[in-house]
């Protein structure tokens, strides 16, 4: 299977669905191949594609592959998924699509930072971080702007029981 030919077939389909091809992997497993496609996009709520959108993309890609010779005659398994929360954020659009989520960030020559994305643009991300001296069970927050070019690694943190932040008036 030619990955360039596959990309050329898949990218226009995803574009019509408002998505982007994030990654394409062809993994050979004996006589079969696993065609693993990772998609991204703004989605209906601006936070990436949802399950229904991924399902629609899978159907369209499957149909297009069946009608083309991009896979040759080799049998394959198609797997289409979103980026997932454990995938590091590397581009401005990733930060924008994860606004409101908790993020663990490694910044040049500083201790790691954990904070919630409150805003982002093409050059910076603004995080809501615990204020110095705040209590763990009732944290006060402040904002911190970080230049994207200083970020070495940024990963969304999974939250099970999110508690709302406390304002100065409530403390």
133 found inside a domain? yes
| Same domain? 78 vs 98 | no
**Which residue among 82, 112, 135 closes a domain?**
82
Banded model confidence at residue 164, pLDDT cuts 50, 70, 90: low
User: In which domain, by residue range, is 7 found?
Assistant: 3-82
Strands (E), 88-131: 102-107, 113-120, 124-130
Q: 54 with 39: CB under 8 angstroms?
A: yes
What pLDDT digit, counting tens, does each position of 86-106 carry?
899 999 999 999 999 999 999
162 found inside a domain? no
| Same domain? 109 vs 136 | yes
| Same domain? 58 vs 107 | no
Q: Tell me, what DSSP letter sits at residue 136?
A: T
What percentage of the chain reaches a pLDDT higher than 70? 93
Q: Which of 78-87, 132-141, 143-152, 157-166 is predicted least confidently?
A: 157-166
| Same domain? 57 vs 101 | no
What pLDDT digit, counting tens, does each position of 20-37 carry?
999 999 998 888 899 999
| Same domain? 70 vs 100 | no
Helices (H), 17-113: 51-67, 92-97
33 found inside a domain? yes
User: What is the per-residue pLDDT for 146?
Assistant: 95
Pseudo-torsion of CA 107, 111, 115, 119, nearest 10°? Answer: -30
Beta-bridge mates of residue 36:
25, 79
Q: How many domains does the chain divide into?
A: 2
Report the C-alpha gap between 99 and 89 in whole angstroms: 12
Pseudo-torsion of CA 61, 37, 2, 5, nearest 10°? Answer: 50
Q: Which of 14-18, 23-27, 32-36, 135-139 is predicted least confidently?
A: 135-139
171 found inside a domain? no
């Amino acid at each position: 299977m030619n990955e360039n030919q596959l990309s050329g077939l898949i990218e226009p389909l995803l574009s019509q669905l408002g998505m982007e091809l994030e990654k394409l992997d062809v993994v050979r497993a004996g006589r079969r191949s696993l065609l693993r496609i990772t998609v991204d996009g703004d989605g209906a709520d601006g936070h990436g594609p949802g399950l229904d959108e991924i399902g629609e993309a899978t159907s369209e890609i499957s149909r297009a592959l069946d009608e083309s010779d991009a896979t040759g005659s080799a049998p394959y398994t198609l797997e289409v998924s979103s980026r997932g929360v454990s995938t590091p954020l590397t581009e401005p659009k990733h930060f924008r699509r994860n606004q409101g989520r908790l993020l663990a960030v490694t910044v040049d020559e500083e201790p790691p930072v954990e904070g919630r994305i409150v805003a982002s643009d093409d050059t910076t991300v603004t995080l809501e971080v615990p204020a110095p001296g705040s209590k763990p069970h009732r944290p006060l927050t402040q904002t911190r702007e970080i230049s994207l070019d200083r970020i070495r690694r940024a990963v969304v943190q999974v939250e099970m029981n999110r508690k709302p932040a406390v304002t100065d008036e409530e403390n």
